[in-house]
């Protein structure tokens, strides 16, 4: 709303100054300055276009300021500042009226339509079904789910998807490992296959098998039987954990579907038809170097089986064929070298260069007692998503993961996350929400309800500052979605919570003056809506009450 008003107004200002040009207007950047002295919104448009106009930036800025239609806009002033910035200041009437608009919009406040109904698919987690989900998957799940919500909130048609690698060598290995454990269980010594899976969950899988059928499978050629059983149980377990964690997937896509439908063969044939394949060293190669890859890659092994690259190409082509115009993949840090390869593979097939976007979810270092927690899969001593939920809670885990930028390594302090006191930032925002809910309950007992129009306009600097902060929420959501940076939301929420606490300490909400109380309740309720909407984007609950668990006596 504000964004559109500014954008339209500046187009008009350009016309009024005789400077309008679509290319120029396309360079428009609007931002909320961090320094409040620089106004509520700012643009560097004059600086951007001054050079080609061969005019001093400040003179261009003056001309634009003079042509900007303030009347009817959310703004009461536009100033030229610094090297040639245009700074806009909200009109008091706009701020006075904002709580009412926020309350009326409710859960929709913060959303926008900038996405223009663009269909996109976010593929995330996609962990191999060969073991429990680890902490990197937990981080990816938090980020991916948040990204889906952010894109939906900004007007995209967006789905989440989990790709199940159920067709590779690794699941065969899992099946063989389970078969070995089952054999050992019934007293037939059989070693784990080389590089087999050693974790305790493998023995658990074996123990849960129906014994008669498993014995029969063990005797004959039962490799696929063990594999399929193990696979289904692992997928079901991952699914249950992600459900509990609040990560939703519109679809669990099986790699085996691609093989079954002939999509893999078809992709291969098409690559061949495009002249992208050649045979060498007993294998079939794809010349990805033509599209910027470091070296060409094998797509069909000497054994006749495809490598992972081929189904991956077929999978992404399938995404495109299903109508998604854009695909965002979240990968772990160990796959970053593969980005260029897959991109090249898709280019070889003729997909749009901007179809695939890969985000790397960086690694997580778990700390306990200030020391790194061992994450060795081999030793079986890794922390799972389930462990994390049990230890610190899903809300807290998600908040910690989303607090930091996705592309940076993350130190996750388990001791801090477990602590239920003021040292733990995860509670700060929830606490502010619970506090507002409590105030509203307190007021309701005295027959007072929020009423934006009641009493005078906003009075104290603290309530004006709070409402200004709330006004920024839609822009923060838009920016977080556009930059694929969910961590901007927790940062904003912490600032908003702090702004609310300041307001609370300076402005008595429920007081002598009933009209003022009702109006301040409306400010508080608007803040509650923003906090609740922000937390919802993160997948974190917004509690009406918070009870601190009894401190353990040590």
Partner RNA sequence: GCGCCCGUAGCUCAAUUGGAUAGAGCGUCAGCCUCCGGAGCUGAAGGCUACAGGUUCGAUUCCUGUCGGGCGCACCA
Contacts of 272 (CB under 8 A, 6+ apart): none
Among 155, 333, 393, 455, binds RNA (CB under 7 A): 333
Restricting to residues 103-162, which ones interact with RNA according to CB under 7 A? 128
Task: Specify whether the CB–CB gap between 232 and 130 falls below 8 A.
Answer: no
CB of 319 to RNA, least distance (A): 16
Least CB distance to RNA at residue 551 (A): 11
Q: How far is the CB of 508 from RNA (least distance, A)?
A: 5
Helix (H) or strand (E) holding 153: helix 135-153
Which one of 391, 431, 536, 541 is in contact with RNA (CB under 7 A)?
431
Count residues binding RNA (CB under 7 A).
94
Rounded distance between C-alpha atoms, residue 166 and residue 516, angstroms: 63
Q: Is 302 a residue that touches RNA (CB under 7 A)?
A: yes
> Are the C-beta atoms of residues 373 and 412 closer than 8 Å to each other?
no
439 binds RNA (CB under 7 A): yes
Minimum gap (Å) between residue 235 Cβ and RNA: 14
For residues 451 and 512, the answer to whether their CB atoms sit within 8 Å is no
Q: Which is nearer to RNA, 20 or 338 (CB)?
A: 338
Interface with RNA, residue 502, by CB under 7 A: yes
Output 408 or 449, the one with its CB closest to RNA. Answer: 408
87, 288, 384, 533: which one contacts RNA (CB under 7 A)?
87
CB of 428 to RNA, least distance (A): 5
Binding part of the chain for RNA, among 174-182, 184-192, 223-231, 328-336 by CB under 7 A, reads 328-336
The single residue among 28, 192, 494, 536 that binds RNA, judged by CB under 7 A, is 494
> d(Cα 300, Cα 313) in Å, to the nearest integer?
13
- Residues 517-526 as b or e (16 or more Cβ within 10 Å = b): bbbbbbbbbb
Please tell me whether residue 427 binds RNA under the rule CB under 7 A: yes
Closest C-alpha to 319, from 87, 125, 484, 159: 159
384 touches RNA by CB under 7 A: no
Q: What is the per-residue binding string for RNA in 38-57, x denoting contact by CB under 7 A?
A: xx--x-x--xx--x-----x
Candidate residues 145, 485, 486, 522; the one interacting with RNA per rule CB under 7 A: 485
- List 512, 547, 551, 553, residue binding RNA (CB under 7 A): 547
Distance CA 488, CA 471 (A): 15
Q: Is 539 left (phi over 0), alpha (psi -120 to 50) or beta?
A: left
Q: Single out the residue of 1, 77, 83, 186 in contact with RNA (rule: CB under 7 A).
A: 83
Which run of H or E residues covers position 504? helix 488-506
Return the SS3 of 123. strand
Sort strands 410-413 and 364-368 into parallel, antiparallel or unpaired.
parallel
Pairing type for strands 30-31 and 41-43 reads: antiparallel
Q: Select from 398, 404, 516, 528 the one that contacts RNA (CB under 7 A).
A: 404
Residue 168 lies near RNA (rule: CB under 7 A) = yes
CB of 197 to RNA, least distance (A): 12
Q: How many residues does this entry show for the chain?
A: 554
Q: Virtual CA dihedral for 231, 232, 235, 237, nearest 10 degrees?
A: -110
- Binders of RNA in range 185-214 (CB under 7 A): none
Q: Residue from 334, 381, 459, 513 that binds RNA (CB under 7 A)?
A: 334
Cβ–Cβ contacts within 10 Å for residue 259, how many? 17
Q: Is 35 in the site for RNA (CB under 7 A)?
A: yes
């Amino acid at each position: 709303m504000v964004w559109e008003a500014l954008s339209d107004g500046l187009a008009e200002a350009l016309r009024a100054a005789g400077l309008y040009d679509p290319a120029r207007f396309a360079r428009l950047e609007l931002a909320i300055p961090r320094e409040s002295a620089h106004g509520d919104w700012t643009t560097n448009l004059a600086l951007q276009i001054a050079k080609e106009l061969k005019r001093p930036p400040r003179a261009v800025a003056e001309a634009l300021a003079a042509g900007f239609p303030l009347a009817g806009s959310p703004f009461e002033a536009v100033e030229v500042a610094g090297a040639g910035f245009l700074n806009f200041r909200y009109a008091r009437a706009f701020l006075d009226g904002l709580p009412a608009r926020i309350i009326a919009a409710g859960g929709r406040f913060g959303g926008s339509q900038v996405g223009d109904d663009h269909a996109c698919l976010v593929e995330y987690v996609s962990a191999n079904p060969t073991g429990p989900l680890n902490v990197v998957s937990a981080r990816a799940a938090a980020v991916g789910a948040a990204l889906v919500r952010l894109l939906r909130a900004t007007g995209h048609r967006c789905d989440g998807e989990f790709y199940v690698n159920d067709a590779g060598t690794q699941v065969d290995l899992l099946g063989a490992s389970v078969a070995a454990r089952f054999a050992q269980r019934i007293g037939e010594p059989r070693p784990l296959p080389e590089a087999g899976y050693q974790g305790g969950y493998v023995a658990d899988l074996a123990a849960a098998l129906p014994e008669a059928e498993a014995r029969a499978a063990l005797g004959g050629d039962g490799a696929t039987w063990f594999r399929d059983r193990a696979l289904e149980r692992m997928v079901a377990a991952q699914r249950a954990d992600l459900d509990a964690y609040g990560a939703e997937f519109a679809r669990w896509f099986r790699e085996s579907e691609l093989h079954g439908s002939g999509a893999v063969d078809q992709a291969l044939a098409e690559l061949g038809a495009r002249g992208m394949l050649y045979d060498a060293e007993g294998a079939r190669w794809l010349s990805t170097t033509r599209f910027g890859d470091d070296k060409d890659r094998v797509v069909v092994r000497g054994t006749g089986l495809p490598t992972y690259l081929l189904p991956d190409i077929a999978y992404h082509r399938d995404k495109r064929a299903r109508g998604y115009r854009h695909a965002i993949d979240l990968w772990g840090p160990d796959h970053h070298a593969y980005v260029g390869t897959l991109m090249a593979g898709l280019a070889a097939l003729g997909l749009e260069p901007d179809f695939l976007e890969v985000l790397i979810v960086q690694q997580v270092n778990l700390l306990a007692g200030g020391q790194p927690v061992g994450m060795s899969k081999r030793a079986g001593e890794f922390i799972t998503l389930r462990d994390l939920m049990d230890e610190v809670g899903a809300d807290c885990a998600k908040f910690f993961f989303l607090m930091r930028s996705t592309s940076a390594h993350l130190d996750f302090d388990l001791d801090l996350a477990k602590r239920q006191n003021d040292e733990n930032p995860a509670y700060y925002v929830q606490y502010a929400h619970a506090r507002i809910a409590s105030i509203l309950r307190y007021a309701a007992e005295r027959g007072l309800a929020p009423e934006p129009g009641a009493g005078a306009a906003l009075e104290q600097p603290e309530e004006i500052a709070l409402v200004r902060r709330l006004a920024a929420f839609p822009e923060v959501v838009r920016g977080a979605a556009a930059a694929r940076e969910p961590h901007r939301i927790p940062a904003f929420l912490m600032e908003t919570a702090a702004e609310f606490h300041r307001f609370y300490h300076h402005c008595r909400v429920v007081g002598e003056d009933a009209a003022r109380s009702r109006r301040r309740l409306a400010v508080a309720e608007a803040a509650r809506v923003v906090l609740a909407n922000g937390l919802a984007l993160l997948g974190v609950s917004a509690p009406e009450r918070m009870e601190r668990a009894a401190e353990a006596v040590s």
